Amino acid sequence: MTTTQRGRRRRRGIALGLGAVAAGLAVWPRLARRRVAVERVVPGLRNPVLYLPLSIRGDGALGVMRLLGRVPVPVPTDVEVDTRLVPAGEAPDVGIVTYERADRSRPSGALLWIHGGGFVLGTPAQGHELCRGLARELDILVVSVDYRLAPEHPFPDGLDDCLAALRWLGDQAASIGVDPQRIAVGGDSAGGGLAAALSQRARDAGGPSICFQLLEYPMLDDRTSLRTDHAGRGTFVWTPASNRYAWAAYLGRPPGHDEQRPYAAAARTRDLQGLPPAWIGVGDLDLFYDEDVDYAERLQRAGVACELHVEPGMYHGADSIMTRAPISRSFRSRMSAALSAGLGLPAAAPGQA
Are 128 and 228 found together in one domain? Answer: yes
Integer Cα distance of 182 and 179 in angstroms: 5
Are 190 and 226 found together in one domain? Answer: yes
Strand partners, 144: 97, 113
Are 154 and 264 found together in one domain? Answer: yes
Integer Cα distance of 234 and 252 in angstroms: 23
Residue 68: pLDDT band (50, 70, 90) is confident
pLDDT surpassing 60 at residue 350: no
Tell me, yes or no, whether 351 lies in a domain: no
pLDDT per residue as tens digits for the range 236-277: 999 999 999 999 999 999 998 788 999 999 999 999 999 999
Are 239 and 213 found together in one domain? Answer: yes
Using a pLDDT cut of 70, give the percent of the chain over it: 89
For residue 300, what is the domain's CATH number?
A: 3.40.50.1820
Residue 4: pLDDT band (50, 70, 90) is low
Question: What is residue 12's predicted lDDT score, i.e. its pLDDT?
Answer: 56
Tell me, yes or no, whether 353 lies in a domain: no
Tell me, yes or no, whether 201 lies in a domain: yes
pLDDT per residue as tens digits for the range 293-303: 999 999 999 99
Catalytic residues: 189, 286, 316
Are 28 and 96 found together in one domain? Answer: no
Question: What is residue 79's predicted lDDT score, i.e. its pLDDT?
Answer: 96
Are 120 and 223 found together in one domain? Answer: yes
pLDDT per residue as tens digits for the range 99-121: 999 999 999 999 999 999 999 99
Q: Is omega for the bond preceding 107 within 30 degrees of 0, making it cis? A: yes
Q: Specify the number of domains making up the chain.
A: 2
Are 31 and 171 found together in one domain? Answer: no
Tell me, yes or no, whether 67 lies in a domain: yes
Q: Domain range for residue 332?
A: 51-342
Integer Cα distance of 116 and 114 in angstroms: 7
Tell me, yes or no, whether 61 lies in a domain: yes
Q: What is the mean pLDDT of the chain?
A: 91
Is the pTM higher than 0.75? The answer reads yes
Query: Which of 208, 335, 330, 223 is CA-nearest to residue 269?
Result: 223
Which whole number is the average pLDDT over 195-204? Answer: 98
Question: What is residue 20's predicted lDDT score, i.e. its pLDDT?
Answer: 41
Length of the chain counted residue by residue:
353
pLDDT per residue as tens digits for the range 158-182: 999 999 999 999 999 999 999 999 9
Phi and psi dihedrals of 326, rounded to 5? -55, -35
Are 22 and 111 found together in one domain? Answer: no
Tell me, yes or no, whether 323 lies in a domain: yes
* Phi-psi group of 350: left, alpha or beta (phi > 0 → left; psi -120 to 50 → alpha; rest → beta): beta
